[in-house]
C-alpha cells in the first residue's frame, strides 16, 4: 500500500490535517477553559472584595464570631458559593458550609499564603470536605496597612467542567468535520494527481503485453499534463517505428519465405534463432522445433557443423560442398559472420544445386548424344564421298548404290534437324495450336490405322479399347495425332514379335486419360525419369535407330494442350505411356 503514490499523498496529508486540527482543537479547548476559569476567578475576586469590605467592622471585635459565621452563610447564599472567614493566625472565624469550630487551621493553605504574601491568592484543588474540585480565591481584609483577616470564596468547578464538556464537544465536532473535509480533499487531490498516472501505467503495461497503442486525453497544463503529452508523443513515435519495423519484418519474412535457398542464423553458442521455409524443407524440421536447438541437432551433417565452426573461429566467409550420390543431392553451403549487426551470430546459406547439376548432366548428355547422332551419318557420307572419288564413279551400278546411301543419310540428317527445329519452336511457344473439338476414340482410331501396316510387318496386334461415348476434347488434331504416332511407333519398335499393343482412353474427373500399353521389354527404373529428355536413349549402344526426340516432342505438345504425360514400366513386362487432355466445358457428342 505504501508503494502507491496515491497513499503517499493521502496518508501524510491526512496525518497533517489530523495533527493540525487536533492541535488547534486542544488549544481552543484550553483557551476556553482558561477564559472561563479567569472569568470565574474575577467574579470570585469581586465577591471576596465585597464581603471583605462588609466585614471590616465585624472583624475588629473578636467576640462576635457567631455573627461572622452567620454572615458567611448569608453571603454564600447570595453568591451561590462557599465563603470562609479566616483570622490572621489561620483560625477559621466563619464557614458557610461546615462547622467552623471543627475546622483545622487554614494558615498553610496555598491561597491564604498567597493572599498574605501577595495580596491575592487563588488555587484549585480537590476538597476533602465537599469531595470535588474547588476554585479558591482569597483576599486579605485590611484596614490601612493592617491585615485584619482573610476572606476566601470558593466555587465548585463542576459548572466549568460542564461548560467545558459542551465546548469540547463543539470543538471536537468541528475538528471531526474539518478533518473529514481535509481527508476528502487529500483523497480528491491524490486521485486527481494519480489517475493520469494510472492511465499511463495501464497503457504502458498493455504496450509491454503487445496491446494497441492509444492516446490518453488530457487538458491539464501541469507536470502531469506535460507527462501525458510526452507519453502521447512517445506513443506516436513508437507506433510509427513499430509500423516501420512490421513493414520491414513483413518484407524480410516474405523474402525468406519465397527464397529457394535455405537460410539459417545461429548465435555464438550455436543455437538456431532463425530458419526459413526452404531450410525447413531441406533439413526436414519445422521452425517451431528448430528454434533454440543447436546447429548439430538441426543440420545433422559434420560438414555443416565444421563449416559453422570455421566461420566462428576465423570470422570470415566460408564455403563447402555436400554431395550425396545415393540421394542424388548436391548442396552448396556458405557461412557468413554478421559482424556489427549481430555480433557473434553467423548466417548460413544453403543452395540446393541438385537441379543445376542435373541440368548440367542433361546438357552434357545432350551434347554427347547429338554429337553421336551426327557423327554416324557424317562419317558414312564422308566414306561414301571418298569411295566415289577413288574410282567408284567409273562403276555406274556402284555409284548409284552409293548415291542412294548418301541420300538416305542426308534424309536422316534433314529429319533430325527438322525435329530439332520443331521441338525448339514448340518449346518457345512459336507454334500456334489450332484447337478444335475432337472425339478421343477417333484420334486413337486414326493413329491405329496409320501404323497398322507397320505393326503387321512386325507381327504385332494393335487393339482399340475405348468407350464409344466419351466427352470431347479441344485439341490441335495434327499435333495430338503426332503425339499418338510417336508413342505408338515406340511401342511397335520395342515390342517383340507376337506382342500386343492396346490403345485406350477413359474419362477421369475433368480430363480424358489416353494411354498406350505394350508388352515389350520395358524400361529400367533408373531411366524412367529421363525418357522424355531430347536425344535420350535407353539402349547404351544406341543401336535401335531413331533420333531420341520423339518423346521430347510428345511431352511439349501435351503440355501445350494443358495436360501432362508420364510412363509406368516394369522391365521385361512392358510399358504404359499415359497423358491427359482437359475435357471441353460443354462437350459435343
pLDDT of residue 541: 44
State the Cα–Cα distance between residues 495 and 521, nearest whole angstrom.
7
Q: What letter would DSSP give residue 145?
A: T
Mean pLDDT of the chain: 79
Please provide residue 568's backbone torsions phi and psi, each rounded to the nearest 5 degrees.
-125, 135
CA nearest 387: which of 374, 370, 405? 405
State the Cα–Cα distance between residues 444 and 547, nearest whole angstrom.
24
CA nearest 551: which of 469, 484, 473? 484
Unique residue bearing C-alpha cell 547429338: 370
What pLDDT, in 10s, does the model give residues 276-290? 888 888 888 887 778
Q: Which three cell numbers stand for residue 567?
A: 510412363
Q: Which three cell numbers stand for residue 377?
A: 551419318
> Cβ–Cβ contacts within 10 Å for residue 506, how many?
14
In degrees to the nearest 10, what's the CA dihedral of 333, 339, 342, 345?
Answer: 40
Q: Which three cell numbers stand for residue 584?
A: 471441353
- Residue 564 confidence class, pLDDT cut points 50, 70, 90: very high
State the Cα–Cα distance between residues 97 and 83, nearest whole angstrom.
8
Hey, which residues does 150 pair with through a beta bridge? 86, 140
State the Cα–Cα distance between residues 309 and 348, nearest whole angstrom.
11
Hey, which residues does 138 pair with through a beta bridge? 121, 152
Report yes or no: 239 and 213 within 8 Å, Cβ to Cβ.
Answer: yes
Unique residue bearing C-alpha cell 496409320: 450
**Per mean pLDDT, which range of 471-475, 510-514, 571-575, 584-588 is the poorest?**
584-588
Return the percent helix, strand and coil in the chain, to nearest 5: 55, 20, 25
What pLDDT, in 10s, does the model give residues 403-419? 877 777 787 777 667 76
The helix/strand/coil state of 528 is helix
Against a cut of 0.75, is the pTM above it? no
Q: What is the mean pLDDT of residues 542-567?
A: 77
State the Cα–Cα distance between residues 583 and 505, nearest whole angstrom.
12
State the Cα–Cα distance between residues 4 and 258, nearest whole angstrom.
52
Q: What is the mean pLDDT of residues 149-159?
A: 81
What pLDDT, in 10s, does the model give residues 325-336? 565 677 888 888
- Residue 342 confidence class, pLDDT cut points 50, 70, 90: confident
Q: What letter would DSSP give residue 322?
A: E
Please provide residue 122's backbone torsions phi and psi, each rounded to the nearest 5 degrees.
-145, 140
In degrees to the nearest 10, what's the CA dihedral of 112, 116, 121, 125?
Answer: -20
State the Cα–Cα distance between residues 388 and 409, nearest whole angstrom.
16
Q: If you write DSSP's letter for every residue of 11-32 in order, what string do you get?
A: HHHHHHHHHHHHHHHHHHHHHH
Percent of the chain with pLDDT over 90: 9
State the Cα–Cα distance between residues 197 and 50, nearest whole angstrom.
73
Q: Which three cell numbers stand for residue 216?
A: 490518453
Report yes or no: 437 and 588 within 8 Å, Cβ to Cβ.
Answer: yes
> Cβ–Cβ contacts within 10 Å for residue 368, how many?
11
What pLDDT, in 10s, does the model give residues 227-267? 777 877 877 787 788 888 888 888 877 887 788 788 888 88
State the Cα–Cα distance between residues 541 and 305, nearest whole angstrom.
45
pLDDT of residue 518: 93
State the Cα–Cα distance between residues 323 and 330, nearest whole angstrom.
4
CA nearest 545: which of 363, 369, 373, 366? 373
pLDDT of residue 198: 72
Sheet holding 461-465, edge to edge: 461-465, 500-508, 511-518, 574-582, 565-570
What pLDDT, in 10s, does the model give residues 450-504? 888 888 888 899 999 888 888 999 998 888 888 898 899 889 988 998 899 999 9
Q: What letter would DSSP give residue 104?
A: P
Angle between helices 223-258 and 158-208 (to 10 degrees): 20
Please provide residue 60's backbone torsions phi and psi, each rounded to the nearest 5 degrees.
-70, -25
CA nearest 548: which of 533, 558, 535, 561? 535
State the Cα–Cα distance between residues 580 and 379, nearest whole angstrom.
41
What pLDDT, in 10s, does the model give residues 14-57? 777 778 877 877 887 788 777 877 888 888 888 888 887 777 76
Amino acid at each position: 500500500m505504501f508503494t502507491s503514490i496515491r497513499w503517499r499523498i493521502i496518508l501524510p496529508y491526512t496525518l497533517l490535517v489530523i495533527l493540525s486540527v487536533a492541535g488547534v482543537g486542544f488549544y481552543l479547548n484550553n483557551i476556553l477553559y482558561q477564559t472561563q476559569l479567569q472569568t470565574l476567578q474575577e467574579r470570585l475576586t469581586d465577591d471576596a472584595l465585597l464581603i471583605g469590605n462588609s466585614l471590616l467592622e465585624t472583624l475588629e471585635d473578636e467576640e462576635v464570631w457567631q455573627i461572622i459565621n452567620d454572615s458567611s452563610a448569608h453571603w454564600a447564599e447570595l453568591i451561590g458559593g462557599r465563603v470562609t472567614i479566616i483570622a490572621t493566625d489561620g483560625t477559621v472565624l466563619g464557614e458557610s458550609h461546615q462547622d467552623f469550630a471543627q475546622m483545622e487551621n487554614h494558615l498553610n493553605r496555598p491561597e491564604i499564603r498567597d493572599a498574605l504574601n501577595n495580596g491575592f491568592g487563588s488555587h484549585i484543588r480537590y476538597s476533602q470536605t465537599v469531595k470535588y474540585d474547588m476554585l479558591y480565591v482569597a483576599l486579605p481584609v485590611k484596614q490601612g496597612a493592617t491585615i485584619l483577616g482573610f476572606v476566601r470564596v470558593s466555587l465548585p468547578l463542576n459548572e466549568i467542567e460542564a461548560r467545558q464538556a459542551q465546548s469540547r464537544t463543539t470543538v471536537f465536532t468541528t475538528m471531526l468535520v474539518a478533518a473529514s473535509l481535509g481527508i476528502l480533499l487529500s483523497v480528491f487531490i491524490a486521485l486527481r494527481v494519480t489517475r493520469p498516472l494510472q492511465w499511463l501505467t495501464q497503457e504502458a503495461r498493455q504496450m509491454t503485453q503487445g496491446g494497441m497503442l492509444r492516446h490518453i486525453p488530457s487538458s491539464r497544463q501541469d507536470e502531469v499534463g506535460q507527462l501525458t503529452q510526452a507519453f502521447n508523443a512517445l506513443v506516436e513515435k513508437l507506433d510509427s517505428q513499430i509500423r516501420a519495423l512490421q513493414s520491414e519484418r513483413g518484407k524480410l519474412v516474405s523474402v525468406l519465405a519465397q527464397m529457394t535457398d535455405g537460410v539459417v542464423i545461429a548465435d555464438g553458442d550455436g543455437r538456431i534463432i532463425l530458419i526459413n521455409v526452404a531450410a525447413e524443407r531441406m533439413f526436414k524440421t519445422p521452425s517451431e522445433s528448430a528454434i533454440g536447438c543447436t546447429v548439430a541437432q538441426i543440420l545433422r551433417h559434420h560438414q555443416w557443423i565444421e563449416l559453422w565452426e570455421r566461420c566462428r573461429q576465423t570470422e570470415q566467409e566460408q564455403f563447402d560442398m555436400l554431395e550425396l550420390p545415393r540421394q542424388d543431392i548436391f548442396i552448396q553451403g556458405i557461412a557468413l559472420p554478421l559482424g556489427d549487426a549481430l555480433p557473434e551470430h553467423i548466417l548460413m546459406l544453403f543452395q540446393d544445386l541438385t537441379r543445376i547439376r542435373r541440368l548440367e548432366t542433361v546438357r552434357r548428355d545432350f551434347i554427347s548424344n547429338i554429337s553421336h547422332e551426327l557423327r554416324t551419318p557424317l562419317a558414312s557420307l564422308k566414306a561414301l564421298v571418298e569411295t566415289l572419288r577413288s574410282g567408284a564413279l567409273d562403276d555406274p551400278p556402284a555409284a548409284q548404290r552409293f548415291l542412294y546411301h548418301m541420300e538416305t543419310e542426308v534424309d536422316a540428317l534433314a529429319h533430325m534437324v527438322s525435329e530439332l527445329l520443331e521441338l525448339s519452336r514448340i518449346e518457345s511457344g512459336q507454334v500456334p495450336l489450332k484447337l478444335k473439338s475432337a472425339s478421343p476414340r477417333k484420334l486413337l482410331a486414326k493413329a491405329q490405322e496409320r501404323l497398322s501396316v507397320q505393326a503387321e510387318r512386325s507381327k504385332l496386334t494393335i487393339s482399340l479399347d475405348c468407350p464409344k461415348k466419351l466427352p470431347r476434347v479441344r485439341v490441335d488434331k495434327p499435333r495430338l495425332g503426332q503425339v499418338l504416332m510417336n508413342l505408338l511407333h515406340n511401342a511397335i519398335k520395342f515390342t517383340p514379335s507376337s506382342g500386343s499393343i492396346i490403345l485406350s482412353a477413359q474419362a477421369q474427373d475433368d480430363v480424358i486419360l489416353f494411354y498406350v500399353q505394350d508388352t515389350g521389354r520395358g524400361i529400367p527404373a533408373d531411366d524412367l525419369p529421363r525418357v522424355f529428355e531430347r536425344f535420350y536413349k535407353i539402349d547404351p549402344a544406341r543401336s535401335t535407330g531413331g533420333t531420341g526426340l520423339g518423346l521430347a516432342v510428345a511431352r511439349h505438345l501435351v503440355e501445350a494442350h494443358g495436360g501432362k504425360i508420364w510412363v509406368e514400366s516394369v522391365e521385361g513386362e512392358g510399358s504404359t505411356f499415359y497423358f491427359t487432355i482437359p475435357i471441353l466445358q460443354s462437350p459435343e457428342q
